[in-house]
Amino acid sequence: MLKQTMNVAVLVSGGGTNLQAILDEQEKGNIKSGKVVLVISDQKGAYALSRARDHGIRAEVVARRECASQKEFEERIRGLIEECGIDLMVLAGFLSILSEDFTADYPKRIINIHPSLIPSFCGRGFYGLRVHEAALAKGVKVSGATVHFVNEIPDGGEIIFQKAVEVEEGDTPEILQRRIMEQAEWKLLPMAVEKVCSDMLKEEIQ
C-alpha cells in the first residue's frame, strides 16, 4: 500500500524554534507530504522536547554523554528511527555530528539547516553564534541560511534551498542570528520538509 505521507523525525539540541516552525506550517496545512511523528534530543533539558509533547508527538532523549561510544549513540538513534518507520530525518539545531557510517545508510534521507549561505562560514566548528560572529568579523553585507542534504562532509551535501538576509549596521551576532531565523530559517526548513517528502512520495509511485 502506497504511503499518503512520509514519517518525519526532527533531531534537536536546544529550544526547538525550527521544530516549532515546522509544526506551525504542518498545522496550517502547508506541509502535506510529511508528518512529524518523532523528536529526538541529545540534551535532556531541551525545551524542544516540551514542544513535541505539547503537540502529542513522541519525544525521546539520546544523550551522547551517556553512551559509551559514537557507535552506541548512533545505534540508539537508529533503533528509534526504525521503530517509528521514519522516512526523513531533519537536523534542526542538532549539535552532535553524525558519523559517515550513519549518514551513508540514509542517502538523501537526512536534511540540515545551517545559518549561513553555504559554502561560506560552514563545516566543522561552525554552529550557533560562531557562524554569525565569523560573518560579522569578515564584514559581509549579506548572510542567510541554507537547507541541504547531509552526507559524510559537515555541511557538504547537496543544497535544497538558500535565502539571503541583509546584514545591517550595528548588528551583533545575536541580532543577526534572530533576523536570519525569522527571515530565512523558519521559512526554508518547512518548505524543504514538504519538498523532500513530496519527492519521496513521487518516487514511491514510480
Provide the CATH topology of domain 6-205: Rossmann fold (3.40.50)
Q: What are phi and psi of 142, to 5 degrees?
A: -135, 135
Q: To 10 degrees, the CA torsion angle through 17, 21, 26, 30? A: -170
d(CA 19, CA 41): 11
Domain boundary assignment for the chain: 6-205
Q: Per-residue pLDDT averaged across 57-65, rounded?
A: 95
Please, what is the average pLDDT of the chain? Answer: 94
State percent of the chain over pLDDT 70. Answer: 99
206, pLDDT greater than 80: no
What the block records as the C-alpha cell of 19 is: 521544530
In a 3-state reduction of DSSP, which class is residue 171?
coil
What one-character DSSP code corresponds to residue 184?
Answer: I
pLDDT over 90 (residue 3): no
- Digit-coded pLDDT (tens) for 27-57: 999 999 999 999 999 999 999 999 999 999 9
Residue 2 has pLDDT above 90, yes or no: no
The model's pTM = 0.94
Whole-angstrom Cα distance, residue 103 to residue 28?
A: 31
Q: What is the pLDDT of residues 152-172, one digit of tens each?
A: 888 889 999 999 999 999 999
Residue range 56-77: average pLDDT? Answer: 95
Dihedral of alpha carbons 171, 43, 118, 144, sign: negative
- What Cα–Cα distance (Å) separates residue 44 from each residue in 10, 16, 33? 15, 13, 30
Burial class (CB in 10 A: 0-12, 13-18, 19+), 121: buried
| CA contacts within 13 A on the Cβ side of 76 | 17
Q: Which residues are catalytic?
A: 114
pLDDT reading at 1 higher than 80 = no
Question: 130-151 pLDDT, tens per residue?
Answer: 999 999 999 999 999 999 999 9
- Catalogue the E-assigned strands of the chain: 6-12, 34-41, 58-61, 88-91, 110-114, 142-149, 159-166
pLDDT of residue 95: 87
